[in-house]
Amino acid sequence: MKYSEGPEIRDTKAPSGPVEERWEKRKFSAKLVNPANKRKLNVIVVGTGLAGGSAAATLGELGYNVKSFCYQDSPRRAHSIAAQGGINAAKNYRGDGDSIYRLFYDTVKGGDFRSRESNVYRLAQVSVNIIDQAVAQGVPFAREYGGLLDTRSFGGAQVSRTFYARGQTGQQLLLGAYQALERQVAAGTVTMHTRHEMLDLIVADGRARGVIVRDMVTGEIERHLADAVVLATGGYGNVFFLSTNAKGCNTTAIWRAHERGAYFANPCYTQIHPTCIPVSGEYQSKLTLMSESLRNDGRVWVPLRMNDTRAPGDIPDEERDYYLERIYPAFGNLVPRDIASRAAKNVCDEGRGVGPGGLGVYLDFRDAIARLGRPAVEKKYGNLFEMYERITGENPYDVPMRIYPAVHYTMGGLWVDYDLQSTIPGLFVIGEANFSDHGANRLGASALMQGLADGYFVLPTTIGDYLAAGPFGDVDDEAVAEAEIRVRTKIDRLLAVNGTRTPDSFHRELGKLMWDYCGMERTEESLRKALERIPELRKEFWENVKVTGTNEELNQVLEKAGRVADFFDLAELMCLDALVRTESCGGHFRAESQDADGEALRDDEHFAHVSAWEYTASGEPVLHKEPLEYEYVKMTQRSYK
Amino acid sequence: MNLTLRVWRQSGRDDAGRMVTYQVEDVSPDMSFLEMLDVLNERLIVEGDDPIAFDHDCREGICGMCGMVINGVAHGEQRATTTCQLHMRHFEDGATITIEPWRAAPFPVVKDLVVDRSAFDRIIQAGGFVSVPAGSAPDAHSVPVRKEDADAAFDAATCIGCGACVAACPNGSASLFTAAKITHLGLLPQGQPERLSRAKAMVDQMDAEGFGGCTNTGECTAVCPKGIPLDAIAQMNSDYLKANTK
Ligand SMILES: Cc1cc2nc3c(=O)[nH]c(=O)nc-3n(C[C@H](O)[C@H](O)[C@H](O)COP(=O)(O)OP(=O)(O)OC[C@H]3O[C@@H](n4cnc5c(N)ncnc54)[C@H](O)[C@@H]3O)c2cc1C
Ligand code: SF4
Ligand code: FES
């Protein structure tokens, strides 16, 4: 796949000066919207997860006229609901040395020096307000006997800054945002459109002015116009088919925006989560995450010997390899996700994996049960153990869990500036859908934090600065009609193929290809192979996919086919991005770039930049580099040894 | 395993609907119930038939999107389990399984096993929240909450809004769902100021949506995947009564 290089991105609109004052400065410089004007300003928010739900509720509360969209039957079902482990905040309630600066530092370092200092600092600052907001809404966080909030330490952090609600933190935070949203629906400031899928973005006179959506029950193609559009449509991990994401998670909204002119940043940065339940068969439809909090008490091991088929309980301690504790004595089982994932892959590649196909490692609670007693373990992890047993039929109190890495999160996404605005004026992107804060690797419990920081606090301020110049008047009819025709043409095309293979069968094949060639470990050879194979498969898709039924009905085959079609194009850009970035960093591991110990080796001289890709009609993307500078956190090679 | 499925098919709101029989072969006991349906649907698509429409998303028991009446029981006979978490190892080889949508007047069928549960959102709109604009909250530690209260509030707050309680109730009552939210917020200090008005508004909305009254049959809590207890309804009734006599 060919590409060319365009001008660098020099200005991200972040204020200058001391990092701790930048957000204050920006808030103060942002123009305010006259309260009387707010009702005349229309904002579309696509997505009702933590980011979109909190944004729509807050914008409604501020008095804007908001339309909110989601593909599920209720905004409460957005994928954020599934987050288990917790949410970070620099409250330092424990007095264990945490601070805004430390959370900032950990996030920049954890992101392997591929995120922006200004953005990350702001995230750490705002984190504190999120917990206050959530508690005031009635989010039932875990508490201690004194009535104060409990916290725990989470993958990669040496302080206890993760707030949680048993194993259902995402659910409780999302319900808080959902309830705030429904309150605005009742107040008439937000109009909710459930079972509506955004299929195109309307750009007129250089501004994002609306969306084309399909009513998933009737098939009606609708146009919705506004003064600004916010995308909060989540991550694209489902490009791998098997991931921990919900089945409906997709790239359609952001890919369409990309085609309309929004740059796509760092598409190759994917996070593989180390603790998921291994695949059990061909029919497997998704992978289930076991919260990483399990690594606080569970110990990861494999047999020392290759192809050891003994039951785990029959393998004595001296014949076990607690490889994380061995290789990383300082952090042990709590090393960051990418390191834990790759280490699991390595021991399985050595033939020491356990379970079907040798694609698994043990996560053992034997010692924790002996140390803390079964009731204590049950209290902490009961629901997770239950979930595991439900799926595998095995009881983790008696037999160690089997886990294997799975695709979990995408750090890449649409490029946004400090205001969370994309390269299309009036198009804002928040939550997992943007690329902004996690660099090449996200720390555990930081996605919930970012989604809510964007939605409750950052976007509502920065979008005001843009909207202060509005309302922007009538939208050019032709631009709207064009977008609508594009949508109809694509649907007609999908329905017309009438081939012999289901959309899922293509998706499965694409996913396998991505996992094998652009997964945990990438090489020039594997990526070139993928770039050769993806266009062939896409061609076959457009010649041989079978979509039953019509557009004018609830048609889940048609929905799926549309999403798979977009995954092909995204997959190609991911592989190209991974090919061009010849260094290893965070979740992106290029086998050619590792040190003597097999650790990821960054190349700061050539790659200390964000790769922002511009779409062109010719199909040949243009790469714009945004240089990254570190004034506060000194660039060092990450070491968890 | 080989199974016979009897599945409710209904092309749209106005179609009368009917049971249709399918044979599925080579089902693995490790498959989830929805994966078993995926395999059948893949076959139907290739054969040019309309696949069975059903709602699902997270497939891990938390989003509340899935839901079918399996052999007459909402979410199937396995206790405290959503349809998506149900695995085929709990069925006998050669069994016949009946699969139907939630049936309740306020949940009209959209297609096949997909129903419209928007009435639940409207019940929340009526008062299932604490009124607190973003940015106005005091420090999270300014109000301690007794651990017992926080834990009990959490237990009620785990409701996933799936609607199984309504489907199981002979009166089609939404009391368990509504009571779960009233109990969650009513147990926390943050929920006190709006406690009674909330209970009144939500219960009135529940009635306006056409859900039936509660006669304490307990069918709801028996099928509830999150084990929301019947006590919640007593709490709701007591708050509702207080609101009306105030
Ligand atoms: C199993 C699991 C566990 C996790 N645990 C944690 C954790 O413990 N801590 C943590 O910090 N993070 C965790 N994460 C990550 C975190 O949950 C997500 O990154 C975050 O919730 C994403 O929120 P969001 O609002 O950006 O998007 P989502 O919650 O994914 O919401 C996307 C929204 O967009 C809508 N949408 C998408 N496409 C369209 C379209 N075309 N048209 C209309 N609507 C559309 C959907 O309907 C939905 O409402 C976890 C993730 C997974 C998968
Ligand atoms: S109370 Fe239980 S059955 Fe009813 S909606 Fe909530 S989780 Fe579902
Ligand atoms: S699909 Fe989410 S609860 Fe079943």
Question: Look-up: residue for tokens 């599945």?
Answer: B7
Start-to-end CA span in chain B (Å): 60
Do the Cβ atoms of A405 and A276 come closer than 8 Å?
A: yes
Taking domain B3-100, whether its CATH number is 2.115.10.20 is answered by: no
Q: Which residues contact A326 (CB under 8 A, 6 or more apart)?
A: none
Q: What is the pLDDT of residue A153?
A: 85
Residues B199-217, mean pLDDT to the nearest whole number: 97
| Phi–psi pair at B3, nearest 5 degrees | -135, 155
* Nearest-angstrom CA–CA distance, B225 and B65: 12
B102 lines ligand 2 (CB under 6 A): no
B137 pLDDT above the threshold of 90: yes
Average pLDDT over residues A504-531: 97
Q: Do A132 and B184 touch (CB under 8 A)?
A: no
The answer to whether residue B110 scores a pLDDT higher than 90 is yes
What is B117-132+140-244's CATH number, 1.10.1060.10, 1.10.357.10, 3.40.50.720, 1.10.10.10? 1.10.1060.10
> For residue range A542-596, what is the model confidence (pLDDT) as tens digits?
999 999 999 999 999 999 999 999 999 999 999 999 999 999 999 999 999 998 8
**pLDDT at position A387:** 87
Contact B132 A142 (CB under 8 A): no
Q: What is the mean pLDDT of residues A140-167?
A: 91
CA A79 to ligand 1 centroid distance, Å: 4
Inter-residue contact A393 to B87 (CB < 8 Å): yes
Residues of B in contact with A387 (CB under 8 A): 60-61, 85
Placement of tokens 């419209």 in the chain? B116
User: Residue A330 CB: number of other CB atoms within 10 A?
Assistant: 10
Q: Walk me through the domains of chain A, giving residue ranges and CATH numbers.
A: 273-408 (3.90.700.10)
The closest residue, in CA terms, to atom 7 on ligand 2 is B159
| Residues whose CB falls within 8 Å of the CB of residue A26, separated by 6 or more in sequence, listed in order | A14, A15, A418, A419, A461, A462
For residue B89, the chain A residues in CB contact (below 8 A) are: 393
Closest Cβ–Cβ partner in B62, B65, B126 for A168: B62
What is the predicted pLDDT for the residue at A155?
65
Do residue B134 and residue A82 have CB atoms under 8 angstroms apart?
no
Q: Which amino acid, one-letter code, is at B16? A: A
Q: In this model, does residue A368 exceed pLDDT 90?
A: yes
The pLDDT of residue A156 is 63
Query: What does each C-alpha distance from B63 to A174, B82, B85, B178, B206 come to in angstroms?
Result: 10, 10, 12, 17, 22
pTM: 0.97
* Residue B101: Cβ within 10 Å count: 25
Is residue A641's pLDDT more than 80?
Answer: no
The angle, 0 to 180 degrees and rounded to 10, between the axes of the packed helices B118-127 and A169-187 is: 80
In tens, the pLDDT along A335-356 reads: 878 889 999 999 999 999 999 8
- Average confidence (pLDDT) over A407-412: 97
* Per-residue pLDDT at A335: 85
Interface probe, candidates B63, B85, B86, chain A, greatest A C-beta count within 10 A: B63
Enter the tokens of residue B233: 């309804």
Each domain of chain B, given as residue ranges in start order, spans: 3-100, 117-132+140-244
State pLDDT tens for residues A206-221.
999 999 999 999 999 9
pLDDT, one tens digit per residue, over B220-242 is 999 999 999 999 999 999 999 99
CA dist A427 and A417 (Å) reads 11
Residue B139 phi, psi dihedral angles, 5° rounding = -55, 140
When the pLDDT of each residue in chain A is averaged and rounded to a whole number, the result is: 96
Provide the token pair at B89: 């190892």
How many helices (H) does chain A have, and how many strands (E)?
18, 21
